[in-house]
């Protein structure tokens, strides 16, 4: 009855379905879910509202689908799944990579929209909150703390509470991503925030690393 119908490359159907999702995401993330009407979505893609109901049962299902996509989004997969042991040994480079990933994601249109949707719906949609908490927050912080723990064993960084450190590393990145999102909304310059991504990694690393010799500069 539903499922993937396109046997060939990409049937017309699944193309418009994708277009609906893309359009809806843009509007939801800008005006909010409740304030976006089915007519808004249809209008933005040059189609009548009733057409959408051939692809989605109702408005809610559009949101549900977008939320479902969140789980597999880049926003929740900060780590390339290479060997943890190896990754940890790279020390600062690992952290720098995550910092860069955060920064790049802040400027990726698709991710930006998903982030804004997440932020707005989190406070009133329990499922979104769950996805944020489990996949976006917990999973990443936990993985991070594992890496940090390994770095401690390798004596690359000072011994300390790994989970606390993971939070301290994660929080500013999240915050700066939010700041970028807000600034872009008013078309303001983001350059000052951009530099904060890198400065954060630098500052954080200097705070935790074990100095090999002297290195006061």
For the chain, the three-class secondary structure string (H helix, E strand, C coil) is: CCCCCCCCCCCHHHHHHHHHHHHHHHHHHHHCCCCCCHHHHHHHCCCCHHHHHHCCCCHHHHHHHHHHHHHCCHHHCCCCCCCHHHHHHCCHHHHHHHHHHHHHHHCCHHHHHHHHHHHHHCCCCHHHHHHHHHHHHHHHHHHHHHHHHHHHHCCCECCCCHHHHHHHHHHHHHHHHHHHHHHHHCCCCCHHHHHHHHHHHHHHHHHHECCCCCCCC
Residue 49, binding choice from a copy of itself, DNA, none, Cβ under 5 to 8 Å by partner class: DNA
User: Smaller CB distance to DNA: residue 14 or 30?
Assistant: 14
User: Smaller CB distance to a copy of itself: residue 27 or 94?
Assistant: 27
The yes or no reply on residue 142 touching DNA (CB under 7 A) is no
Query: Shortest gap between Cβ of 93 and DNA (angstroms)?
Result: 47
User: Smaller CB distance to a copy of itself: residue 55 or 114?
Assistant: 114
Query: Shortest gap between Cβ of 194 and DNA (angstroms)?
Result: 36
* Interaction site with a copy of itself (CB under 8 A): 29-32, 34-35, 116, 119-120, 122-124, 126, 129, 132-133, 137, 160-161, 164-165, 167-168, 170-172, 174-176, 179, 181-182, 185-186, 196, 199-200, 203, 206-207
Other CB atoms within a 10 A radius of the CB of residue 100 amount to 13
User: What part of residues 36-75 is at the interface with DNA (CB under 7 A)?
Assistant: 36-39, 47-51, 53-55, 57-60
Round to whole Å and give the CA distance between 1 and 10: 18
User: What part of residues 165-204 is at the interface with DNA (CB under 7 A)?
Assistant: none
The yes or no reply on residue 4 touching DNA (CB under 7 A) is no
Residues that bind DNA (CB under 7 A): 5, 7-8, 11-14, 16, 36-39, 47-51, 53-55, 57-60
């Amino acid at each position: 009855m539903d499922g993937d119908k396109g046997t060939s490359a990409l049937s017309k159907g699944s193309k418009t379905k994708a277009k609906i999702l893309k359009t809806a995401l843009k509007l939801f993330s800008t005006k909010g879910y409740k304030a976006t009407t089915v007519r808004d979505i249809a209008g933005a893609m040059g189609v009548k509202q009733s057409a959408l109901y051939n692809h989605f049962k109702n408005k809610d299902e559009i949101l549900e689908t977008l939320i479902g996509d969140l789980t597999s989004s880049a926003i929740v997969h900060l780590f390339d799944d290479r060997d943890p042991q190896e990754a940890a040994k790279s020390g600062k480079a690992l952290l720098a990579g995550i910092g860069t990933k955060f920064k790049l994601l802040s400027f990726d249109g698709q991710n930006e929209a998903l982030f804004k949707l997440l932020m707005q719906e989190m406070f009133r949609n329990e499922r979104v909150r769950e996805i944020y908490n489990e996949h976006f927050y917990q999973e990443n912080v936990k993985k991070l703390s594992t890496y940090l723990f390994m770095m401690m064993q390798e004596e690359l960084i000072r011994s300390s509470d790994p989970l606390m450190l993971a939070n301290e590393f994660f929080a500013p990145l999240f915050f700066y991503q939010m700041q970028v999102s807000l600034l872009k909304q008013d078309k303001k310059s983001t350059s000052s925030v951009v530099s904060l991504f890198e400065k954060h990694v630098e500052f954080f690393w200097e705070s935790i690393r074990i100095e090999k010799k002297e290195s006061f500069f």
